[in-house]
Amino acid sequence: MAELVFFTGPMDCGKSTLALQMDYTQSAHDRQGELFTCHDRSGHAVITSRIGLSSAATEVGEQFDFFDHVVSGLTAGRRIDYVICDEAQFYSPDQIDQLARVCDELDIDVLCFGILADFRTELFPGSRRLVELADRMETLQVRPLCWCGARATHNARTLDGVMVTEGSQVVVGDTAGTQPAHVVQYEVLCRKHHRLKMSKHVAMATLSPDVLPFEEDV
């Protein structure tokens, strides 16, 4: 019986890597599927992982209808055993409902990957709907770390290295610190330092290096 599964966790916990691994595992067992993404970090219709893996995918725009798309594919003679949906937090609640319909009415496994909450600690609408509808939800076991060394659980948006808590919910930014400082960037923090709005940049500027567990990249 097909399932709607939501794999979730904060940034840097390996969601896209797992999505690509799941596609590889499924296809290795003679199953055929389709990959979807929305606002991938690369800026293209592709699922990319920070460890260098990537695969072409269908971009999910505001007007995209999953059920119509899959039915059209099946009608055209394509075999679809599963669908993998990366960056599912950016999907609309209606699109999540469409995915549930794909699972229930077409008996196709739907595997969704995304983060729960935004930089303001508010649930994304797509993620909230997945929590409401998914047959099961799995939290990824790879645990990213805050700059202090504690488990990171919250996503933070920074500008000029300073954490911000206002702005549009969806802004694609850099997570590797390779962009100019004035470009929006993201990092993961523990709850304490997210609450204190203390990003790594602020910590390096205000705390003694002796209390920091990690060295700043040169």
User: Helix, strand, coil proportions of the chain in percent (round to 5)?
Assistant: 30, 25, 45
Q: What are 207's strand-pairing partners?
A: none
In terms of DSSP bridges, do strands 185-189 and 154-159 run parallel, antiparallel, or are they unpaired?
antiparallel
Which residue type is seen at 181?
A
CB neighbourhood size of 145 (10 A): 15
Choice among 3, 34, 62, 87 that is catalytic: 87
Report the b/e string of 59-82 with b at 16+ CB within 10 A: ebeeebebbebbbeeeeeeeebbb
Q: Which residue has the tokens 């669908």?
A: 83
Q: Could you give the CA distance from residue 46 to residue 48 in angstroms, rounded to a whole number?
A: 6
Q: Is 87 a catalytic residue?
A: yes
In one letter, which amino acid is 8? T
Catalytically annotated residues: 87
